[in-house]
Amino acid sequence: MTFPITPRNVVAALVAIGLLLLPLYSHLTGNIFILTLFTRIVIFALAASSLNLIMGYGGMMSFGHAAYLGIGGYAVGILSFEGIGSGFIQWPVALAVSALFALVIGALSLRTRGVYFIMITLAFAQMAYYIVSGMSRYGGDDGLTIYKRSNFDGLIYLSNRVQFYYLCLGCLFGGLYLIWRIINSRFGMVVQGVRSNEQRMQAIGFHANRYRLVCFVIAGTICGLSGALLANNTDFVSPAVMYWTRSGDLMVMVILGGMGSLFGPVIGAIVYLVLEELLSQFTEYWAMIMGPLLLLIVLFARGGIMGLLGRLRLG
């Protein structure tokens, strides 16, 4: 495989290197905050990348993707609360429950298209939100504190800031590699073909919805992993993480970075969360600045930041 030297690839490579070297910078400057911030960013980048798989490549505008953040998080939280601290149990459960939820939601939602699909995925995510809010044993509305991070004894220690950061980064790079393989595989070709022209794909012999559903489940499972990471990062999980505005945040990251570009959601997550951080230092009404900014991107930069870079020429 070859990666031509284009502005997009150069930026992606620089960002990847930057992310790899970040703990070094943090160590040298003594700036712990930046490591904490970027751990969060990396986790959301993985979640946004999984959404990109169905939204950008599959054309499925899911407005309930944050549900898997919650499901992955609660799987870790609840098991920990019930005394099962091993990550080797917690994480597979988080992934399995996310996959199952995606399978059920997908099987029902994928009967619809367009706006109806957006609304039905939103409705299911909100349902999950209210169910979790009602689980009084696990903190209900107030959320659930996780007193001990997932235990991977002998392998990796999640309470070590640097080790945890690299675990998150490893998951992100692994997730991106997986998505990259998928979109270039036979399966990925079918999913992208269905996005492009469903009727045509049926006519040449593909049962479109089967492929859509499997893609939906893969994306949900990857996002469930982000959820498990996020819960460990905050030592806490609450219904708020699956509220519809969170799903909106993920969509914004994807659109901002560039839908249907592999690295776009990573850029989107970085820009969105760094801006949020910076702007909220000036004013609590940071959304007033973020809003118009997004509007400009959507109006003038279809394809997001990666789309803009794609139009640049080197040399």
Partner 1 sequence: MVNSLADPLLRVENLVRRFGGITATDNLSLNVMSGELHAIIGPNGAGKTTLISQLTGQLAPNSGTIHFAGRDVTRQPAYRRSRLGLARSFQTTSLLPDFSAIDNVAIAAQAHDGHSFRFWGNARKEKHLRDAARSALTRVGLEARADVPVSELSHGEQRELELAVALATKPQLLLLDEPMAGLGVTESARMVALLKELRREVTIVLVEHDMEAVFALADRITVLVYGRVIACDRPDAIRNNEEVKRAYLGDQHVVVAHG
Using CB under 8 A as the criterion, which residues of the chain lie in contact with partner 1 when the complex forms? 181-182, 184-190, 192-193, 195-197, 199-208, 211, 214
Q: Which is nearer to partner 1, 198 or 277 (CB)?
A: 198
Question: E strands within the chain?
Answer: 144-145, 236-237
In the bound complex, what is the minimum distance in angstroms from residue 182's beta carbon to partner 1?
5
Six-digit token string for 238: 């609450």
Angle at 267 between CA 27 and CA 294, to 5 degrees: 125
Q: Which is nearer to partner 1, 137 or 186 (CB)?
A: 186
Q: Which residues contact 71 (CB under 8 A, 6 or more apart)?
A: 94, 97, 98, 101, 128, 224, 227, 242
Contact 54, 217 (CB under 8 A): no
Q: Which is nearer to partner 1, 15 or 178 (CB)?
A: 178
In the bound complex, what is the minimum distance in angstroms from residue 195's beta carbon to partner 1?
8
Distance (Å, whole) CA 139 – CA 215: 33
In the bound complex, what is the minimum distance in angstroms from residue 199's beta carbon to partner 1?
6
In the bound complex, what is the minimum distance in angstroms from residue 60's beta carbon to partner 1?
16
In the bound complex, what is the minimum distance in angstroms from residue 175's beta carbon to partner 1?
14
C-alpha to C-alpha distances, 90 to 74, 94, 98, 108, 219, nearest whole angstrom:
10, 6, 12, 27, 19
Q: Which is nearer to partner 1, 31 or 197 (CB)?
A: 197
In the bound complex, what is the minimum distance in angstroms from residue 70's beta carbon to partner 1?
26
Q: Which is nearer to partner 1, 4 or 154 (CB)?
A: 4
Q: Which is nearer to partner 1, 173 or 206 (CB)?
A: 206
Q: Which DSSP string do the residues of 178-238 spell out, in sequence order?
A: HHHHHHHSHHHHHHHHHHH-HHHHHHTT--HHHHHHHHHHHHHHHHHHHHHHHHHHHTEE-
- What is the length of the chain? 315
In the bound complex, what is the minimum distance in angstroms from residue 208's beta carbon to partner 1?
8
Angle between helices 264-282 and 244-257 (to 10 degrees): 120
Which one, of 79, 81, 104, 44, lies nearest residue 229 by Cα? 44
Q: Which is nearer to partner 1, 179 or 305 (CB)?
A: 179
Q: Which is nearer to partner 1, 31 or 196 (CB)?
A: 196
C-alpha to C-alpha distances, 291 to 48, 107, 187, 252, nearest whole angstrom:
19, 34, 36, 10
In the bound complex, what is the minimum distance in angstroms from residue 184's beta carbon to partner 1?
5
